[in-house]
Homo-oligomer: A and B are copies of this chain.
Amino acid sequence: MRQELRLSSGTGHEPGEMRPGGRTARNREAVCRATLRELATRDYAGLTVESVAEQAGVHKTTVYRRWGGVDGLIVDALQYAVDDDWQPDLTGTVDGNLLRFARIALDSFTDPETGPTHAAVVAAAFQSERAIDAVHSFFADRFGRASAIVEAAIERRELPPNTDAVGVIRCVMAPIYFRLFISREQVDEADVEQAVQAALAAARAGTFGIPE
């Protein structure tokens, strides 16, 4: 989703900050945006503290002191990317809400601005243990938020009680990620609809039931 790996301004507050919008916050925003851009254009192997510092207009000793190195930059850039206030739309049916969620995600993967960053972050996890941790947290956060769609559907009795909400969200997104980043197949609107319908059929059949 365009908001998922946002390249817009940050809202995160943290201990080192004097105030939101202060120099520390501005530096973080510049460095995280530069890291995401550099990841998208050069990939993990080409990412250096020097290139990020130059792109961000921040002295490289500041970057080394605050972020430690390349892995620290990736972890914080991903954290920055998810530090937004995105929440899923819960109006309408579970079919429509999941379809909207999946479409926004697909748009962000195919968007010329945010798409390469998504791919670079997935690729970085093949080369860096800390990137794996960051990706893991990223999905825990995103899928956790999206699972409100499934929880609302359980409440409205559209899906069985005890349905594992994150399991349903993963089932919707897995074939889309698989086609894009593993089997390298085209993904169109019909594929997104099929992914949603497959996940819902499985959920209705009780496949994602959490044992009592």
Contact = CB atoms under 8 A, between A and B. Distances in A.
A207 B170 CA distance: 17
Given A175-B171, A178-B177, A194-B207, A136 B185 contact: yes
Contact of A126 (B119, B171, B194): B119
Given A170-B175, A194-B208, A43 B184 contact: no
A195 to B, nearest CB: 9
Interface stretch (A10-18, A19-27, A196-204): A196-204
Contact of A182 (B177, B197, B204, B207): B177
A139 B175 CA distance: 14
A136 B178 CA distance: 11
Nearest to A182: B177
Interface of A: 43, 45, 119-120, 122-123, 125-127, 132, 135-136, 139, 143, 167, 170-171, 173-175, 177-179, 181-185, 194, 197-199, 201-202, 204-205, 207-208
List the 7 closest A-B pairs by CB distance, nearest first: A198-B202, A201-B205, A174-B178, A123-B126, A139-B183, A174-B174, A174-B175
